[in-house]
Structure 1
């Protein structure tokens, strides 16, 4: 690697007029090839040279921010100086341009205020039984000794949960096939975009994945429009998100347009389906490779739940299950990067950042930084238990944003409580009924829509109940 004006970002001699140290890369393409080969390793290697470091890829400048205090600055204390940025908003343009995830300014505030009321504890409690029911239905299909691709199974499971909670549709309903086809087509399309398929075609020629996605999205729009009409005409009450959006009103008396309703649902489908399936897959694989932790978890679940399935009011007592999930997302954050872009020239860590630069906040690096985490690359759920921190066995003085799987600040993940409820209840319902043994020996995560682990095969052992 060739670095220009290389210096440690922590040095007090940095002048606010200086640009961050940077990787020269190759002529024209910069570090694009290095990033594509292994984005996680590439960005992590950059962190060895400082907490604010720049590189060029995909024709734009990225500035990697690896200091938790600066992450907090960008996401929380000075969040009004930054927006999602051109790089991250590309996905919004593809998927759901009218949704809350990529909205800015007053549009974002209006949508966020409306949607926040749909994710209250009371609303999520109404979805909890469906989460457990879907888990039981999945595990009932697993027999003792069977080898399953848990990535595939859990993807179907989380999609089932979302289809019921968002649309009040069972996956076996033929209309749910429209949702399944859209999610599959989106994954193919985003993967193709990440691999640069678009760059080898004229701008006016749609790629095969793009055509497939457009057809699937048109079918989903038609389904949503039909369901919105049904719900607005119905006199009955329903707690699914579509029903709530269909009958919602903004303060000015207007209602969300069909396009906006569709885009909100698509964004929750993509974010909720991918992140939860990914987090659960890594969690199950890590437990399969740590039999003692899996036994400890099973004992906790038996103590709390006895001979019944877990309920939402058990969550406060399932402290080890929460710790296991937190640790899995520390090691393998479902979204490994968050991107922001300054509205105008600013400074971070004593360095000047121009408005055209894309800030890259690497969860996958910060979560593994041994400055904040002892035995950073080891699976140690006990580090999250209150008694462990009180005993001083772990780094209790680490900055808050040494761990941020759901982002932070005003734009933190709106579905965070929904996701943690789903992850904790489904894990407890699984481990109460079965245990995992490893088959897939190692993982090679790749950055696609989420931090995709690839196929993960585990052997199922049923528990005597």
Structure 2
């Protein structure tokens, strides 16, 4: 990515010595990004000694993710707290290692294969809805996390993780805390002995033990071969790379960690936010109920129903616009680069804030409002390509995008068909981080329809 001699320095706030803009960001990340928009589409600042660059212009985002993707990499800081457990997973690897992994894993997420999971997704959603109604009250994020974890474990690993679910949730909570906006663990070097680091390490080690037991059980049942399930675990155990090598034990473990965390948490958060946002706008909730009642012949949605579940699709799109699962993506230039005419030095943390771009008034009318019907017209065709990118973009777009999108729509329609989920605290705010989770528990009353 060549840089012209007249590339300009990044505009942006000066901030305080050493901490830079950290205090403003931690106090109110949303107000902080509102202020950043005043500097333009590519803005520089500092936080805790690190050079930062937020990209708010869709064309520049496209350059980072697609046109000049090879000029950028995942930041070292992003994976520092997870290196011992996910460094060999496809989320954090780079270069030829990442390309080989992506090629190996991609067949698991082809459209035909993913759609083959549809009935199972809906079946589990029916079971979950019945359990929620029986309980009468649920923690929505915990309940949806249980649902999506069961779906993922069965479809991609052909196992029942019920007895291991608590360990997975502890691991997911640890990753979420590390990625939370302004957390000390995400800002301070790994050698600083924070109490949270000890607690998170225990969660990772327990998860590690559970996954190693899972692999041992599969191998003890006959290893790999024709009699084993056609799933992701078998793929990893049987895989051969073009150079003749095979995935190491560490890589298998890291891939399982990556998919079990990212694969279930993405849809769980989207479902949680869907019920929060629907509670805020009763007329939208009523319209969604009416559609699923009109379209579905029984108590569950199927892949064949999706073309007629138009409003359900709009709801899903709007949830992902307002509450994208990751909140932001992060990259780092491999060397000094020019971006939208500005000089971005090597090592700068480049932030692609989906939550801010997808609520930019330049692209969306009443951007902070939950309006699924905005997707009824030509909005998608009229938007710049990277004004809406909840699953990322370019060669490193979310490999499980089709899986998550199908699961969200089928689970949402099926749950709404069976039960009413009435959120008690619909004014809950998001906690800006990775993932983009609610800042407090989301409690709901659940009744059969």
Q: How does 1:7-156 map to 2 (within 5 A)?
A: 16-143=6-133, 146-156=136-146
**TM-score scaled to structure 2, two decimals?**
0.90
Equivalent in the alignment of 1:8: none
Summarize the Cα distance change of 1:190–1:335 in structure 2 as closer, same or farther, 3 Å threshold: closer
Q: How does 1:168-183 map to 2 (within 5 A)?
A: 168-172=158-162, 174=163, 178-183=167-172
Give CA deviations for 1:281-335 in whole Å, capped at 9, x if unaligned: 1111111222222222222223322224111222232221111011011111111
Q: How does 1:273-292 map to 2 (within 5 A)?
A: 273-292=264-283
**TM-score scaled to structure 1, two decimals?**
0.88
Instruction: Give the distance between the partners of 1:356 and 1:198, measured in 2 at CA.
Output: 15
Look up the SS of the partner of 1:43 in the other structure.
Answer: helix
Unaligned stretches of 5+ in structure 2?
none
Summarize the Cα distance change of 1:176–1:446 in structure 2 as closer, same or farther, 3 Å threshold: closer
Give CA deviations for 1:92-147 in whole Å, capped at 9, x if unaligned: 52540111111111111100001111111232133222211221111102338933
Look up the SS of the partner of 1:232 in the other structure.
Answer: coil
> Are 2:368 and 1:382 aligned?
no
Contact map agreement 2:12 2:39 (CA 8 A) in 1: no
Contact map agreement 1:147 1:460 (CA 8 A) in 2: yes
Q: How does 1:396-415 map to 2 (within 5 A)?
A: 397-415=382-400
Contact map agreement 2:86 2:258 (CA 8 A) in 1: yes
Summarize the Cα distance change of 1:409–1:90 in structure 2 as closer, same or farther, 3 Å threshold: same
Q: How does 1:435-446 map to 2 (within 5 A)?
A: 435-446=420-431
Match of 1:343 among 334, 348, 364: 334
Instruction: Give the distance between the partners of 1:318 and 1:410, measured in 2 at CA.
Output: 30
> Are 2:282 and 1:296 aligned?
no
Match of 2:443 among 457, 460, 464: 457
Displacement after TM superposition at 1:251 (Å)? 2.6
Count, aligned residues: 443
Instruction: Give the distance between the partners of 1:187 and 1:113, measured in 2 at CA.
Output: 28
Contact map agreement 1:69 1:399 (CA 8 A) in 2: yes
Q: How does 1:233-252 map to 2 (within 5 A)?
A: 233=224, 235-252=226-243
Equivalent in the alignment of 2:359: 368
Instruction: Give the distance between the partners of 2:295 and 2:8, measured in 1 at CA.
Output: 56
Instruction: Give the distance between the partners of 2:71 and 2:229, measured in 1 at CA.
Output: 40
Displacement after TM superposition at 1:462 (Å)? 2.1
Q: Which range is displaced more, 408-417 or 232-241?
A: 232-241
Q: How does 1:182-261 map to 2 (within 5 A)?
A: 182-187=171-176, 194-196=183-185, 199=188, 203=192, 207-230=197-220, 232-233=223-224, 235-261=226-252
Contact map agreement 1:166 1:265 (CA 8 A) in 2: no
Displacement after TM superposition at 1:178 (Å)? 4.7
Instruction: Give the distance between the partners of 1:44 and 1:159, measured in 2 at CA.
Output: 35
Summarize the Cα distance change of 1:379–1:210 in structure 2 as closer, same or farther, 3 Å threshold: closer
Instruction: Give the distance between the partners of 2:33 and 2:137, measured in 1 at CA.
Output: 35
Instruction: Give the distance between the partners of 2:224 and 2:50, measured in 1 at CA.
Output: 49
Give CA deviations for 1:172-214 in whole Å, capped at 9, x if unaligned: 3x35555445434544565699334994995478842144134
Contact map agreement 1:339 1:360 (CA 8 A) in 2: yes
Summarize the Cα distance change of 1:448–1:359 in structure 2 as closer, same or farther, 3 Å threshold: closer
Look up the SS of the partner of 2:429 in the other structure.
Answer: coil
Instruction: Give the distance between the partners of 1:256 and 1:121, measured in 2 at CA.
Output: 25
Instruction: Give the distance between the partners of 1:193 and 1:166, measured in 2 at CA.
Output: 34
Aligned-residue RMSD, C-alpha: 2.7
Unaligned stretches of 5+ in structure 1?
1-13
Give CA deviations for 1:130-169 in whole Å, capped at 9, x if unaligned: 2112211111023389332212211221122222223222
Look up the SS of the partner of 1:458 in the other structure.
Answer: strand
Summarize the Cα distance change of 1:129–1:278 in structure 2 as closer, same or farther, 3 Å threshold: same
Equivalent in the alignment of 1:317: 308
Instruction: Give the distance between the partners of 2:113 and 2:371, measured in 1 at CA.
Output: 33
Instruction: Give the distance between the partners of 2:134 and 2:399, measured in 1 at CA.
Output: 38
